[in-house]
Chains A and B, each alone.
Chain A
Amino acid sequence: MLTYVIRRILILIPMALIISFLVYLGLELTPGDAVSHMISPEMMASISAERLDALRVSLGLEQPFIVRYWIWLQGMLQGNFGYSTAGGVAIHAILADRLPATLELSAVALVFSTIFGCVLGVISALKRGSTTDNVLTVTGMLGVSIPEFFFGLVAILIFALKLQWLPVGGRLLPGYDSYWDHLPHVIMPALVLSIMMTAGVMRYARSSMLDALSKEYIKTARSKGLPEWRVNLLHGFRVALTPVIVLIGFRLPVLIGGSVIIEQVFQWPGVGSEFISAVRSQDYPLVMMIALLSVMAVLTASLLVDILTALIDPRVRLDK
């Protein structure tokens, strides 16, 4: 197992390299550059090409693509994440600012959706065909099919604008001393994100649970005279858990990348909304850093999923 983990971690390096190069290439292929974003088209028309080039030189944008990539990569390897092209802010500072915001939302959503998704999915499977199951299934379908932004806007309309129970968005306001001041801001985006994610987990848990319950060992467990809860949870759910863990594992990157749409709708200053603006302004170093973080998060999550499945399913052996 240890050799496997080490090998997997070593694979991360070339993967990250390749993906970072592809992202850089993708940025390069989009029209315009950081300078064309800084200056509006009207103004661009009255500025001489020499002045624009001077600005490009000062931002290091005049170098050929490969050279810029190489410079960026060198910086990365030395632990220097670089500075945002647009505002010159150190990227680690930007991320240090944004990551907690994103984590706050997505951690809540991840925990919430895991617990409720599993519980509801199991209930749904155990009461298969009942009204409860039908209601949950329909709700789950709605949950996975309604776009996040719509759900978010409706929530804002009802709870913030009509009922005025919760703020419309944002994360911090002046004069917030404690976490409690800020808690009302977390509730709605976290719940909306949670409910959307819960729907997926629930549907997954239900079908996985149904699959497990149809297995012969469930009958064996009953034939031993075990109580139903033990049959369903220890024998049914324990086995059904493996695919659910995989699903949840692959959602871990949300912790880093954030939910772009939810962050936009709720004016949440997280990594997701930062990424959008960075892409818009072609802020290479910032885009690259966030992309790289997300890539690492995805790769790490898949490694974690592998390790977790090996831990919970004795049939899985990682060394082979």
Chain B
Amino acid sequence: MTQDQDVALSVKNLKTFFYTNKRCNKAVNGVSFDIKKGKTLCIVGESGCGKSVTASTIMQLLPTLSRIEEGEITYHSENGDIRIDQLERNGEKMRSIRGSEIAMIFQDPMTALNPVYTIGFQISESLKYHTDLTRTQYKTRAIELLRDMGISLPESRVDDYPHSYSGGMRQRAMIAMAMSCSPKILIADEPTTALDVTIQAQIFELMDTLKKEHGTAIMLITHDMGVVAELADEVAVMYMGNIVEAGTVDEVLRNPTHPYTRALLASIPVLGKGKHQDITAIPGSTPDPYDRPNGCQFADRCAYRIDACDVMPEETQIGRTHRVMCWRHEEVGANAAE
């Protein structure tokens, strides 16, 4: 199978299951997507839809009682393809990819930084394992990174502990840490959820700049459609372990063909539309992950439900890049176009 030159990482039919008390949660149940160089892929979905698990699976950072059941994760490195799913979890090969080839930033910068080490130390840890820099160069590089991330007085801030940083500064420091070894892929797991709105914008701006300047492929996990509209090149909408709809940002936002995507878009207020917007919450709640419906996972909450929905719909390619998992996608798509 040939790959586009610009694909950095491709995921094929990935299944990650969690096991608790002899019960199985099919947290990620057959997802496929590509992360492209210099592009941002947004994965959108409610809490528990499997978007964070997908990220953890790529990084092989899954908890002990979970495993990749099926599927492929292929990292297209400069030196050939690497099947990440076949690597030992914390083995040498995996470790050499983490941080240096694929880096990750987390949701809550308050807890993601170790409170007992200075920011400089935590950045230099990455440098120590992935670069040939000497001990003395670590600090220079850390200061440089912090400055690039827009932290003022980086010379003194580098020796500060995380608790003396504000939330936004911590996330910048996290990004500095992630970018320290110029990774090809940056996975950001809801990087701004814990931050103020104004700070959010700054962080996204920063990520956008990095993407443009370094050609970094970004996989951004979010539940915020506004963020998607702002940043994404491509979007994958996840629901209960499946990508129910994926495509370019235009395709998905302008022409949603899955009822869930539509429902998500309808539940967001749009700036400029005034006070009396018709905001519709999605009825019902997500099913118990340990006791899922047989067919379409969204069926119980879906306005388009028909009997056929008791069988899991096939993925349908409705455009070169646009695909959807719904029996009635044509009707849904037609409605959206109205």
Contact = CB atoms under 8 A, between A and B. Distances in A.
Given A216-B111, A239-B114, A225 B106 contact: no
B204 interface: no
Contacts of B40: none
Contacts of B66: none
Contacts of B61: 219, 222-223
Interface string A225-253: 11110100001001100000000000000
Interface in B172-191: 174, 177-178
A312 B117 CA distance: 10
Contacts of A217: 111-115
B112 A313 contact: no
Contacts of A220: 104, 106, 112-114, 174, 177
B108 A228 contact: no
A225 B99 contact: yes
A222 B116 contact: no
Interface string B283-318: 000000000000000000000000000000000000
B52 to A, nearest CB: 11
Contacts of B112: 216-217, 219-220
Q: What band does the interface of chain B fall in when counting residues whose beta carbon is under 8 Å from A?
A: 20 to 34
Contacts of A225: 94-100, 126, 129-130
Interface in A98-148: none
A224 B163 contact: no
B116 A313 contact: yes
B161 interface: yes
A223 B116 contact: no
Contacts of B90: 222, 227-228
A224 B108 contact: no
Interface in B78-134: 90, 94-100, 103-104, 106, 108, 111-117, 125-126, 129-130
A223 B60 CA distance: 9
B111 A224 contact: no
A87 to B, nearest CB: 53
A28 to B, nearest CB: 49
B59 interface: yes
Nearest to B180: A224
A297 B161 CA distance: 33
A239 B94 CA distance: 25
B111 A215 contact: yes
Q: Is the interface of A mostly helix, strand, loop or mixed?
A: helix
A222 B125 CA distance: 11
Contacts of B97: 225
A216 B107 CA distance: 9
A226 B94 CA distance: 10
A320 B115 CA distance: 19
A224 B161 CA distance: 18
Interface in B204-228: none
A216 B194 CA distance: 14
Interface string A293-320: 0000000000000000000111100000
A68 B303 CA distance: 90
Given A220-B106, A314-B163, A239 B130 contact: no
A95 interface: no
Nearest to A239: B116
Contacts of A238: 114, 116-117
Nearest to B102: A223
B272 to A, nearest CB: 37
A64 to B, nearest CB: 56
Interface string B122-151: 000110011000000000000000000000
Contacts of B98: 222-225
A151 B114 CA distance: 41
B161 A314 contact: yes
Contact of A235 (B99, B114, B126): B114
Contacts of B125: 221, 224, 226, 230
A230 B90 CA distance: 12
Nearest to B161: A314
Given A216-B108, A223-B103, A315-B115, 12 more contacts: A216-B112, A217-B111, A219-B112, A224-B125, A224-B126, A225-B95, A225-B126, A225-B129, A226-B95, A227-B90, A238-B116, A239-B116
- A-B CB proximity, top 6 nearest: A225-B99, A225-B98, A216-B111, A224-B99, A314-B161, A217-B114
30 contacts: A215-B111, A216-B106, A216-B108, A216-B111, A217-B111, A217-B112, A217-B113, A219-B112, A220-B106, A220-B177, A221-B114, A221-B125, A222-B59, A223-B178, A224-B103, A225-B95, A225-B98, A225-B100, A225-B126, A225-B130, A226-B99, A228-B90, A235-B114, A238-B116, A239-B114, A239-B115, A313-B115, A314-B115, A314-B116, A314-B161
